Structure 1
Amino acid sequence: MNLNKEDSTELGKAHLTYGKLSIDQANIRLKQEGESEFPLGVFSKFIQDTILELYDNGNYNIDYTSVSVLTALAGIIGNSFHLRKHIEWCENPSMWVVLVGKSGQNKSAPLKTAFKAVKNQQKQFDKEYESAIANFDPDAGHKKPTKRKLYSTDPTFEALINMHKQNPNGLILMPDEFKSFILNLIGYSGGSKQSQFLSIWDGAPISLDRKEAESSSISMPCVSIIGSIQDDVIASFKAKDIKDGFFERILFAIPLKMEKKYIKRTNPNDYIIEQFHAQMKSFLDTVSENETTKELMLSEGAEELFITEINKHVKPSNKDSTISGILSKLDRYMLRFALVLEVSNCFFANKAIDKVSRDSMKSAIMLKDYFYANALKLNHMVLNVYEDNSKEGKVLRIIKKIGKKEFTNKEFIQIADQIGIAKESYAYQLLSNTKLAHKIQKGLYETDILN
């Protein structure tokens, strides 16, 4: 990436350009100092209070909780609201999100809290389905009950489409193991499922036609995804990227400090957390009543801000293809962020949901800055671990220890284990993905870095 200082300052500075901070905002900023750069001010105050309470007394990471709540709001809204930029450009609120951190960094608890309302509602749907099945009598001409799903953890692509048909408002996917889920679901072989899944992110119609089977189609797919992954594993995932834009569609939450925290003796305030869950349930219940899609437009002020911001992306995008790939997707995510914030913040403030306001677009730009910085951070992590010649490069350290231009995969795995970098499966993964060595023949590799 070849951004100079002048270009880089054009991006990521929205939090400095929108006026003075209130006392509450200043206190939040001080509390986040050195811990998180997530712009908490984009949320309604009760959400801010919940996130900080869980951080202060629950050992929750601010970034993980904030991004999880944002994705939960997007998943709840689904196809109930879209944002139409113009006649040919309409965005749904779906988001693909990954929490990046080290093992044991408490990534699962924020997810559990953020999606409690969704999971509780799913339990209710499951009970209703079981009751309906128990009373189902095909001989009496009853229509077979269908099971409504709000979320799933590991569906096949076909199952995903069928579940979406039963819940046109959309689905949330919460895989237990993000890397395995993505590889199993779409693979990296360039097959049709991969292109279809990319179409889902775009909100384009999906149709599956199978011989001797019922065809399945979704006219307005809306699927949000959220999962977690370890920081050393994400480099392997990135290395498999085939440059089709899939990786750029993912939003990454990467804390300033990727470290395990000491557990505090205090517990989160019950009232604050219960109020959060009650508000999220109310939001879910109200949105679930919508049977049609309401399209919002940008207000004049929001339109002006949006155009100004995406125009800032042109110069750095023209200079670097990697930057271009990231920003082109964030241009669209800005609209999705603004939609989610407008709908949710208006609901929680008991205001009419009409147009996307200038304030919502300001907040969306701040979110764009946050995720843009994390995308660059992730690229830097990948380069350090896999590709560059820095002393932190794992592959480089192993190859230098081997000390030969040609070596076998067995030698690589043995040395990786001896110097404590990786066990067999991960070592082989490192070797398969590295650009510092290439395969000559089966089991034999060559490197030029020792010349």
Structure 2
Amino acid sequence: MESFENEKTELGKAHLKYGKMSIHEANLRLKMAEESEFPLTIFPKFIQDTIIELHDHGNYNIDYTSVSIFTALAGIIGNSYHLRKHIEWVENPSMWVVLVGKSGQNKSAPLKTAFKAIKNLQKQYDQEYESAIANYDPDSGEKKPSKRKLYSTDPTFEALINIHKQNPNGMILMPDEFKSFILNLIGYSGTSKQSQFLSIWDGAPISLDRKEVESSSLSMPCVSIIGSIQDDVIASFKAKDIKDGFFERILFAIPLKMEKKLIGRKNPDDYMVEKFHSRMKALMDKVNESINTIELPLSEKAEDLFINEVNKHVKPSNKDAAISGILSKLDRYILRFALVLEVSNSFFEGQAIKQISESSMKKSIMLKDYFFSNALKLDHMVLNVYEDNSKEGKVFQVLKKIGKREFTNKEFIEMANKLNIAKESYAYQLLSNTKLAHKKQKGVYETDVLN
């Protein structure tokens, strides 16, 4: 048998790089170094093992699976547990997450697996509702049965509030087309819709009083959002950001390698995956036992860690407004991450859930670092791909070749295609989101950059 210290063995390589550790941790470290920056060690071992099994034998991306599972945990916990920093600062566990990648990069499978327990319970609720409606007598004087929904794909804002009222523990939005969801928010009437969702993210009470709809209110909204989108599409949206803090509230999962992979013959271990689903369901059952919100305080050591970490953000925030916007939201996400980790890990490990521990806060800060890195990656994508104010960008190259101040969208698309910069739909997307030209009238644009 080869020595663990031999640099030719997997464990030997890990020893040389990370110091002595178990075989499990060594293999995990080596794999993560090549495939992902996500801090897998925040999860209990059975979740780590499931993620690696799905990666090795199911063609699942580690980042997509990890972030999807974490968001599913947050959605399950919902309003059952909150974190109270002080009398005026309370955080719920809601997450806004986007999986970013190339077309065909298998972003949907990790979502399906992570949320299977939630969707199975939704099927049960649907069956119970259908049975209740079938037996309902409108003349009986009894209240009409209501439909409980754990998640929705494309509700109006008013519908979201009313659905949430039927499920006070919280809602999960899983748009089938995240591109359409974003377009609906940042379209011509998008500003008001974005502001409504900003209030939802803050956990602030919502009250709708409009003539065309019945008045509705929600005292404790807790809505997690998760979807997937192509890298160039999200970069184009970010380039058109109106700087209201909406994008800073989104957590991006951006893998080290955005590429399709070969499919192997071996399938993921059925027992391991089913065990994962079973334990996620057990957490849901536990959460559903309580009708009241339990508020968890920070332990003394956890609070010290939090304060020290947030104070580290002050200097870079004062130097750069963009960095400040990202870190200000991540300061709050640190508490949300810690809440999700404390509740879920304590449950899975059979421990009492009393306060936010030092361990949960350490793991939360690791997760914050991951999402901060990805936020910077997205900004880099915007600069590299669009370069809105640069004379090296794709849009400027097309405008320069067109050579006139006023032009049609047809001229732009044809020139972009001729220069091999972009095909029709992508070219129109570039034109719609650029800051180098503006629409003068339908189909006609104007630019000042050629003067």
Q: What root-mean-square deviation, in Å, do the aligned CA atoms of Structure 1 and Structure 2 show? A: 2.0
Aligned mates of 2:264, 2:127 — CA distance in 1: 38
- Percent of residue pairs bearing the same amino acid type: 79
* Distance (whole Å) between structure 2 residues aligned to residue 223 and residue 126 of structure 1: 20
1:137 Cα offset (Å): 0.3
**Aligned match of 2:248:** 248
The residue aligned with 1:446 is 447
Q: Which residue of structure 2 aligns with residue 340 of structure 1? A: 340
Which residue identity lines up with residue 363 of structure 2 in the other structure?
Answer: S
Query: Residues 154 and 290 from structure 1, CA distance in 2 versus in 1: closer, same or farther, beyond 3 angstroms?
Result: same
CA distance in 1, matches of 2:191, 2:435: 25
User: Offset of 1:420 from its aligned partner?
Assistant: 3.8
AA at the equivalent of 2:367? L
Deviation at 1:444, TM superposition (A): 3.9
Alignment of 1:262-273 (within 5 A): 262-273=262-273
Structure 2 unpaired stretches of 5+: 1-17
Query: What's the counterpart of residue 46 of structure 1?
Result: 46
Q: Bigger CA drift: 146-155 or 429-438?
A: 429-438
Deviations 1:251-307 (A, max 9, x none): 000001111111111111111101100100111111111100000001011000000
Instruction: Report what 1:8 is aligned to.
Output: none
Q: Is the 8 A contact 1:386 1:435 kept in 2?
A: no
Which amino acid counterpart does residue 77 of structure 2 have in structure 1?
A: I
The corresponding residue for 1:64 is 64
Whether the 8 Å CA contact 1:64–1:110 is kept in 2: the answer is yes
Aligned amino acid, residue 26 of structure 1: A
TM superposition score normalised by structure 1:
0.91
Name the count of aligned residue pairs: 432
Q: How does 1:88-237 map to 2 (within 5 A)?
A: 88-185=88-185, 187=187, 189=189, 191-211=191-211, 213-237=213-237
The Cα shift of 1:216 comes to 0.9
Q: In the alignment, is the contact (CA less than 8 A) between 2:437 and 2:445 conserved in 1?
A: no
Name the amino acid aligned to 2:56: D
CA offset digits 1:106-132 (Å, max 9, x no partner): 000000000000000000000000000
Q: Are the aligned partners of 1:395 and 1:434 in contact in 2 as well (CA < 8 Å)?
A: yes
Asked whether the equivalents of residues 406 and 447 of structure 1 are also in contact (C-alpha less than 8 Å), the reply is no
Alignment of 1:241-320 (within 5 A): 241-320=241-320
Query: What is aligned with 2:429?
Result: 429
Distance of aligned partners of 1:219 and 1:388 in 2 relative to their CA distance in 1, 3 Å threshold: closer
Q: In the TM superposition, what whole-angstrom CA distance separates every residue of 1:27-84 from its partner, at most 9, and x where no partner exists?
A: 2110112210000000011000000000011000000000000000000000000000
In structure 1, the residue corresponding to 2:214 is in which secondary structure? coil
Q: CA deviation at 1:190?
A: 5.7
Give CA deviations for 1:185-244 in whole Å, capped at 9, x if unaligned. 564646543222111100000011122743211100000000000011112211231111
**Deviation readout 1:131-183 (Å, 9 max, x if unpaired):** 00000002122210000000000000010000000000000000011121133
1:321 maps to 321
Change (3 A) 1:434 1:95: same
Question: How far off is 1:426 after superposition?
Answer: 3.0
Q: Which amino acid aligns with 2:361?
A: M
Aligned-partner residue type, residue 262 of structure 1: L
| Counterparts in 2 of 1:395 and 1:212: CA distance versus 1, 3 Å | closer
Give 4+ residue runs of structure 1 displaced > 6 Å after superposition: 389-392
1:289-342 deviation line (CA, Å, top 9, x unaligned): 110000000101100000000000000000111000000000000000000000
Given that 1:385 and 1:392 are in contact with CA atoms closer than 8 Å, whether structure 2 keeps it comes out as no
Q: Which amino acid aligns with 2:446?
A: Y
Aligned to 1:278, what secondary structure does the other structure show? helix
Structure with larger RCO (C-alpha < 8 A, sep 6+) = 1
Opposite residue 340 of structure 1, the aligned amino acid is V
**Inter-CA distance 185–161: structure 2 relative to 1 (3 Å threshold):** farther
Measured at CA, do residues 214 and 279 of structure 1 come closer, stay the same or move farther in structure 2, by a change above 3 Å?
Answer: same
Secondary structure at 2:315's aligned position in 1? helix
Aligned partner letter, 2:377: K
Residue of structure 2 in register with 1:12 after alignment? none
User: Cα distance, 1:441 vs. partner?
Assistant: 6.7
CA distance in 2, matches of 1:130, 1:21: 57
With the length of structure 2 as denominator, give the TM-score of the two structures: 0.91
